[in-house]
Amino acid sequence: MTTATSLELPARYGSCPFSPPPAYTDAAREATVTRAVLPDGTACWLVTGYDEVRAVLADTRFSADARTPGFPFLSAGQRELATAKPSFIRMDDPEHARLRRMVSKDFLVKRIEELRPGIQDIVDRAVDRMTEGRTSADLVADFALPVPSLVICLMLGVPYEDHDLFQSLSRTLLDNRTTRPEAERAHAQLMGYLAELAARKRSRPADDILSRLAAREDLTDQETASLGFLLLVTGHESTANMTAVSVLALLQRPDQAGLLRADPGLVRGAVEELLRHLTIIHLGLGRAATETVRVGEVTIPAGDGVICMLSTANRDRQLFGETDDLDLTRDARRHVAFGYGIHQCLGQTLARVELQTVLTTLFRRLPGLRLAVPVDQLAYNQDNIVYGLRALPVTWG
Amino acid sequence: MTTTRVPRAPRIPPLPPAEWPPVLRALLADSHRDGPGRENLFGTLAHHPVLAHAWLSLARVLTHEGTLGHRRRELIVLRVAHRLDAPYVHRRHRTPAADAGLTDAEIEATAGDLDSHAWAGEDSDLLEAADLLAFNSPVPDALWGRLARVLGPGQLVELLVLAGQTAAMCATLNTLRTPSDRQPSLVVLLDRERCCSAGQCVGAAPEVFEQDEEEGRVALLVPEPDVRYADEVRFAADLCPSGAITLVDEEEPARP
């Protein structure tokens, strides 16, 4: 029921670029809930089992508000980001629901499906730009990052010319090595940028999310900027990382890439399996118990921090079978890569459509796509909240 | 006597509710106040939305703004449906017929030999007229005279249009081999307050769920989804992150 030694977070990565640190999967094999120690020395619970992860994330007795006593932080920078001027992902209902519902209609399944041709167009142009006059590129900087950035900029009404600014600031904010003053500065800078943009939208509105938010009388300027911040950062960062890691995973598995090339109709299921298999939030979602709650075989006292491990939940063998294997034909739709409970990713349909479009287009248009460097020379963002590749040199000539 | 029918594929399959124009879904929901069913009729008409609207407007006038009275209307519809061998229509009209005051025995008798039931004089005249109108046969003066003694000119016109509209519906559904509606028996409870608009339900069961336009909260495409979607609905309820969807199994009692 309890393990002798506590697992120290974050754990060190192993050799597989597609797996979370082995200590997490080992812990998951031992028990569904484990004791762990945060970098600041505080103890917390690591919830690793699929059922337990879903139970905690669906249970309102676990608060997502980072100001709740016991809330676990992996870094000082994260503490700053989550507590200073939190966006709705760090709030509980009813405030969370009030703010989330202000933007939920922009992410309706139907609405996102309507965007599909526009997304296809953005992806096609990105491939054109990447391949024009050359035979190799960095797939991260030249493709994976621009595509979702362009899409979310269009939806939000953020000028894409400013991408260097918001991409570098959000990288800083998601990096666990960022110090508190650095995070404070980056946060203030991006919030200031968005508040200014929102003010401009108020006087000269356009057909975009920021304009609609800026026009609302029931939102403060700070709330508008904070909503924009959340959509902008989550809207490009996770899809960019997921794109790059997915492409690498498929390049390393020509048999699976071949399946997708032979039958593009597989892509919906393929994206679900990639989401499950790669789950790029390796060290999961933080919550704090506001009451004493029984989770699996463990009693978690009020005031304790909990980290829900999406990456180990998605490797549940009973549910998914041989989970360490990438199998694009697997029914992986029960995965929790987008989280679970009321905070489950609002942009998940957008992410799905982006990934589906990106993968089919890339493998169709560049049949010779392959790594331009040996795989062991690749560098990963192991210190980020969102796992990814720093660069992915590829060639197709 | 029962006829065994070999089920055949519809010549033009009814469109699933997800593909209907929204106004048609609203009309169907509205029509359920007059009893369940009609999904496949609406799904067939949905291939031609403008015509669907006109057809259903006429149907609404005949049902709700007619001057014949409910009992006379249902007698005509049941008899024309029987004569044109349209069990779809006959079965669907059992509920409104019962609501209009027809007994079970009378409803059964509309599908049999007219002499085998002791019909009152006026009922008998209406049924006899329905038999003739169903096949566009001439109505003899004697019968017309009896009808004209109890019905005014407006009612008589309505009687002819009603018989014709019913016949057109029967011919359409029969020619297209449109299947009968299945009995709805899937009870889906939605807690829209809990819904967080993740959209998982729409992905899992697009024939059953949709998101409202304002906030993307869960809504049902049809009030009582067909049981054939049970597995998908169960899957949607499992995927739903906020616990907004509950499926009540047939054998379980529904919540009060």
Based on DSSP, count helices (H) and strands (E) in chain A, helices before strands.
Answer: 16, 11
Predicted confidence band of residue A48 (pLDDT cuts 50, 70, 90)? very high
Q: What is the mean pLDDT of chain A?
A: 95
Q: How far separated are the first and last CA of chain B, in Å rounded?
A: 41
Asked if B196's CB is within 8 angstroms of A107's CB, the reply is: no
Residue with more model confidence, B33 or B105: B105
Q: Does A37 touch chain B (CB under 8 A)?
A: no
Q: What is the CATH number of the domain that holds A227?
A: 1.10.630.10
Range in A64-73, A75-84, A144-153, A387-396 with the lowest mean pLDDT: A75-84
- Average pLDDT score over residue span A41-52: 96
pLDDT for position B182: 61
Asked if A344's CB is within 8 angstroms of B198's CB, the reply is: yes
- Average pLDDT score over residue span A224-229: 94
Q: Are A99 and A230 in contact (CB under 8 A)?
A: no
Q: Which domain holds residue A169?
A: 7-395
Residues B94-139 have pLDDT tens digits of: 888 998 999 989 999 999 888 889 999 999 999 999 999 999 899 9
pLDDT for position B35: 67
CATH number among 3.50.50.60, 3.90.420.10, 3.30.70.20, 3.40.640.10, domain B187-248: 3.30.70.20
In angstroms, the separation between the Cα of residue B193 and the nearest Cα of chain A is 9
Residues of A in contact with B204 (CB under 8 A): 333
pLDDT for position B197: 95
β-strands A393-395, A370-371 pairing = antiparallel
- Average pLDDT score over residue span A2-6: 59
Residues B11-29 have pLDDT tens digits of: 899 998 888 988 888 888 8
Question: Which of B194, B198, B238 has its CB closest to that of A346?
Answer: B198
pLDDT for A13 beyond 90 = yes
- Residue to mutate among B215, B234, B238, with most A CBs inside 10 A, is B215
pLDDT for A31 beyond 50 = yes
Predicted confidence band of residue B9 (pLDDT cuts 50, 70, 90)? confident
pLDDT for position B248: 75
**A1 assigned to some structural domain:** no
Q: How many CB pairs under 8 A join A and B?
A: 65
Residues from B in contact with A at Cβ < 8 Å: 194, 196-200, 202-204, 210-211, 213-217, 235, 238-239, 241-243
Report cis status (omega within 30 of 0) of the bond before B253: no
In angstroms, the separation between the Cα of residue B208 and the nearest Cα of chain A is 14
pLDDT for position A3: 45
Residues of B in contact with A100 (CB under 8 A): 196-197
Residues of B in contact with A109 (CB under 8 A): 199, 202-203, 211
Q: Label residue A205 left, alpha or beta by phi (over 0 means left) and psi (-120 to 50 means alpha).
A: beta
Asked if B211's CB is within 8 angstroms of A110's CB, the reply is: yes
Range in A25-39, A368-382, B212-226 with the lowest mean pLDDT: B212-226
Percent of chain B at pLDDT > 90 equals 55
Asked if B214's CB is within 8 angstroms of A344's CB, the reply is: no
Asked if A108's CB is within 8 angstroms of B243's CB, the reply is: no
Q: What angle do CA A24, A29, A34 make, to 5 degrees?
A: 60
The DSSP 8-state label assigned to residue A175 in this structure reads: B
Q: What is the H or E stretch that residue A112 is in?
A: helix A109-131
Q: What is the mean pLDDT of chain B?
A: 86
Fold agreement (B17-175, B187-248):
no
pLDDT for A79 beyond 70 = yes
Asked if B210's CB is within 8 angstroms of A101's CB, the reply is: no
CATH number among 3.20.20.140, 1.10.8.60, 3.40.50.10210, 1.20.1290.10, domain B17-175: 1.20.1290.10
pLDDT for position A76: 85
Predicted confidence band of residue A244 (pLDDT cuts 50, 70, 90)? very high
Among chain A residues, the shortest Cα distance to B204 is held by A333
Identify the bridge partners of residue A308 per DSSP, sorted by sequence position: A47, A285
Q: Which residues contact A138 (CB under 8 A, 6 or more apart)?
A: A391, A392, A393, A394
Residues A125-179 have pLDDT tens digits of: 999 999 999 999 999 999 999 999 999 999 999 999 999 999 999 999 999 899 9
Percent of chain A at pLDDT > 90 equals 91
**Which three-class secondary structure string do you get for chain B?**
CCCCCCCCCCCCCCCCHHHCCHHHHHHHHHHHHHCCCCHHHHHHHCCCHHHHHHHHHHHHHHHHCCCCCHHHHHHHHHHHHHHCCCHHHHHHCHHHHHHCCCCHHHHHHCCCCHHHCCCCHHHHHHHHHHHHHHCCCCCCHHHHHHHHHHCCHHHHHHHHHHHHHHHHHHHHHHHCCCCCCCCCCCEEEECCCCCCCCCHHHHHCCCCEEECCCCCCEEECCCCCCHHHHHHHHHHHHHCCCCCEEEECCCCCCCC
Question: In total, how many domains does chain A have?
Answer: 1
In angstroms, the separation between the Cα of residue A50 and the nearest Cα of chain B is 13
Predicted confidence band of residue A328 (pLDDT cuts 50, 70, 90)? very high
From the list B255, B213, B244, B237, the residue with the least C-alpha distance to A93 is B244
Q: Does A346 touch chain B (CB under 8 A)?
A: yes
Q: Does A93 touch chain B (CB under 8 A)?
A: no
Range in A65-69, B134-138, B176-180, B197-201 with the lowest mean pLDDT: B176-180
Residues A177-224 have pLDDT tens digits of: 999 999 999 999 999 999 999 999 999 999 999 999 999 999 988 899
**A213 assigned to some structural domain:** yes
- Average pLDDT score over residue span B173-189: 77
Percent of chain A at pLDDT > 70 equals 99
Q: How far separated are the first and last CA of chain A, in Å rounded?
A: 56
Tokens encoding B63: 């049902």
pLDDT for B59 beyond 80 = yes
Return the sign of the alpha-carbon dihedral for residues A351, A356, A358, A359: positive
**A25 assigned to some structural domain:** yes
pLDDT for A38 beyond 50 = yes
In angstroms, the separation between the Cα of residue A72 and the nearest Cα of chain B is 22
Q: Taking the domains of chain B in order of start, what are their residue ranges?
A: 17-175, 187-248
Q: Are B254 and B187 in contact (CB under 8 A)?
A: yes
Highest mean pLDDT among A223-232, B37-46, B88-97: A223-232
Q: What is the H or E stretch that residue A137 is in?
A: strand A136-138
In one-letter notation, the amino acid at residue A15 is S
**Which three-class secondary structure string do you get for B138-157?**
CCCHHHHHHHHHHCCHHHHH
Q: Are A111 and B215 in contact (CB under 8 A)?
A: no
Predicted confidence band of residue A2 (pLDDT cuts 50, 70, 90)? very low
Question: Which of A57, A107, A340 has its CB closest to that of B216?
Answer: A107
B77/B89 Cα distance (integer angstroms): 8
- Average pLDDT score over residue span A262-274: 96
Tokens encoding B137: 């046969």
pLDDT for B3 beyond 50 = no
Among chain A residues, the shortest Cα distance to B214 is held by A105
* Longest CA span, chain A: 62
Q: Does A60 touch chain B (CB under 8 A)?
A: no
pLDDT for A22 beyond 90 = yes
Q: What is the ipTM of this complex?
A: 0.91
Residues of A in contact with B235 (CB under 8 A): 333
Residues A277-302 have pLDDT tens digits of: 999 999 999 999 999 999 999 999 99
Range in A118-122, A125-129, A225-229, B95-99 with the lowest mean pLDDT: B95-99
pLDDT for A37 beyond 90 = yes
